[in-house]
Structure 1
């Protein structure tokens, strides 16, 4: 009943409008909406056009609606970086990643160039620290694994026990919350994932353990945290270089 009253008040006007888009002085498209519908219309503008200095560099994106009814829209970018050396980025989350030795302090170290060195066969604890400056909803953390490491999944009988994190704070976040901040996690072949429907502002950590199995030099994409249904709210660590050594 409450949702019905809300809908009748918020959506009192039946949609009957035309939506138009301009990028700078260039007309990018339009679409007509008639009646209530879950219909979606998408207009794609090539990144090459956005980056073309001949078009004048930075341009205004203009949306116009003519007619009654509510227009819901989303603006987003899909792109791939051209450089492997990515700096951390804060667009709502601060994200940091570290690799720690589990059994012997000499198994893992970071040199003066920022490259991580891991002894082959050693167990490694990967620690992700993230800072949320506001309450966030439907949060996903994804941490890609270096190709030379394999996750030790404690849920599998063949994996054995995972050692206790010496920096474990009994999973306390404020006075109101005990337990892990995440509600679900996945241990996959090439990445670890953690999810929660609600994340209060604060500092959080996520750790898991892997074993260095394959010698070599590997580039590791950044760890990333985002709101799944508002992906423009996100953050990432920088990328890392990992050397697994005999």
Structure 2
């Protein structure tokens, strides 16, 4: 059962297969946690789609002006969070070189200028030079003289060096400033070291092929990389994907098979645009979507960038057609689409439907290919959802801070809270395995207001956030983040005040790996009665 006044069916018509990236783009735009990786991913997505943003527009979505305003806010936040060594995931957390190079790419793509981008580019260039020198020195050592500690992270070091080189190679002269662009020799050095060390990931090979594509001086390296990348493909009659294994240290670079497939697709388009594997990889990526998008911010960004290159390269027929759509008897739209960025559609609220069954029909007359998207927005009427353990066990409790009688349980298991009382919210998160990039989100019942102890004027109350790298207390939810989560349990506690009388839904609290969100867990839902 659903709430009939919320949402409905939306059907959109497009003149370009870029439309298939609509949900991935909006996922990046509205992703809620806003760490440096996610802000920069949103900025890079907007840069990649800047000339076709109007084709993604629809009622209820941000306008182009609002997107540009968000990008300007992201630039300000990232510039504020810059330290002398770069960026961590959150303000004042440990600097992460992978995040730093992505933020540099995003700032440059957004046209940022000034001391921050100048210093940040210098940081990435210096980091890359040091990394290449260490890899060179290790590769020159006899294999028997290389220690296990030196080899422990060599595979991720090669991949990170390739990622830094790709970022630096893509910067324009203005963004580089006084920094010299890494030449072909840097890519050749890294290629040679990776081969000697036997630590050459598919991601690193794809990035280096992208950097050196079509360059005659790298012909031998390009032939070798092309053959190796083609050999990693799993292919059937219609689709292909890249499936590989990752070491634990590589996971700090937010790897996944979908991201690797996107990187290989991008490299092949640059190096061998006529290869028959390319359309199969594109189809494989599109088929891997769930609910119109890929799993993580990194997957959506990598695929969006690669597929934008794919569509720009291979869409040849100029559109000139009329598209029609019928949503049962409740909605109809007819529009002429004569530009690649043209779109049209119809939105039908649930209240316009009657009966149990409705047919969707589409038609096209004219030249070009018509693409469509059908989406459903709804709010479930049942909020007391059961708990789920898909990698995490999450428990939540509400207890009184002052008088135990301020918070009691009703016979059906819900909470009754005295108006004006302080309430301690306790979340316990358990995992049986090591996890990375863990986010815990606790939606607040509308009658609660969080007490932010970081404000000088706030009242002194209990909280336990020491086990977490970063904590956000927002008006409608509380968030805690741990970039490394050892097997075992952690507690996250904070205090709220019951400010509004009434009966309110407490949606389930959830824990997930941000870059592997299929690993998650949630509490049950409940209700909070404030009186």
With structure 1 as the length reference, what TM-score do the two structures score? 0.69
Would you say 1:213 and 2:499 are equivalent positions? yes
Distance 2:398 2:470 in 1: 22
- The partner residue of 1:105 within 371, 382, 404 is 404
- The partner residue of 1:86 within 385, 396, 406 is 385
Would you say 1:193 and 2:479 are equivalent positions? yes
The C-alpha deviation readout for 1:127-185, integer Å capped at 9, x for no partner, is: 0011111010000000001100000001112212114x6xx7xxxxxxxxxx8221110
Describe the shift of the 1:8–1:135 C-alpha distance in structure 2 as closer, same or farther (beyond 3 A): closer
Q: Which has the higher helix share?
A: 2
The C-alpha deviation readout for 1:27-83, integer Å capped at 9, x for no partner, is: xxxx99474579974335779xxxxxxxxxxxxxxxxxxxxxxxxxxxxxx997743
Q: Which has the higher strand share?
A: 1
Distance 2:269 2:418 in 1: 58
Would you say 1:14 and 2:229 are equivalent positions? yes
Describe the shift of the 1:79–1:203 C-alpha distance in structure 2 as closer, same or farther (beyond 3 A): farther
What are structure 1's unaligned runs of at least 5 residues?
Answer: 23-30, 48-77, 169-178
SS of residue in 2 equivalent to 1:42: helix
In the alignment, what sits opposite 1:231? 517
Describe the shift of the 1:230–1:243 C-alpha distance in structure 2 as closer, same or farther (beyond 3 A): same
Distance 1:45 1:234 in 2: 16
Distance 1:208 1:111 in 2: 23
Would you say 1:182 and 2:182 are equivalent positions? no
Distance 1:185 1:239 in 2: 22
Describe the shift of the 1:148–1:34 C-alpha distance in structure 2 as closer, same or farther (beyond 3 A): closer
The C-alpha deviation readout for 1:208-233, integer Å capped at 9, x for no partner, is: 00000000000111000000000000
Alignment of 1:48-59 (within 5 A): none
- Deviation of 1:204 after TM superposition, in Å, equals 1.4
RMSD of aligned Cα (Å): 3.3
Distance 2:391 2:239 in 1: 27
In the alignment, what sits opposite 1:139? 438
What are structure 2's unaligned runs of at least 5 residues?
Answer: 1-134, 136-153, 159-189, 206-224, 241-261, 271-280, 293-375
Would you say 1:148 and 2:434 are equivalent positions? no
Question: Which 4+ stretches in 1 moved above 6 angstroms?
Answer: 37-40, 78-81
SS of residue in 1 equivalent to 2:229: coil
Would you say 1:130 and 2:429 are equivalent positions? yes
- Deviation of 1:84 after TM superposition, in Å, equals 1.7
1:137, 1:198 within 8 Å by CA — same for their partners in 2? yes
1:186, 1:193 within 8 Å by CA — same for their partners in 2? yes
Describe the shift of the 1:151–1:34 C-alpha distance in structure 2 as closer, same or farther (beyond 3 A): closer
Describe the shift of the 1:80–1:142 C-alpha distance in structure 2 as closer, same or farther (beyond 3 A): farther
2:439, 2:480 within 8 Å by CA — same for their partners in 1? yes
How many residues align structurally?
Answer: 194
1:15, 1:34 within 8 Å by CA — same for their partners in 2? no
Distance 2:497 2:449 in 1: 5
SS of residue in 1 equivalent to 2:200: helix
- Deviation of 1:124 after TM superposition, in Å, equals 0.2
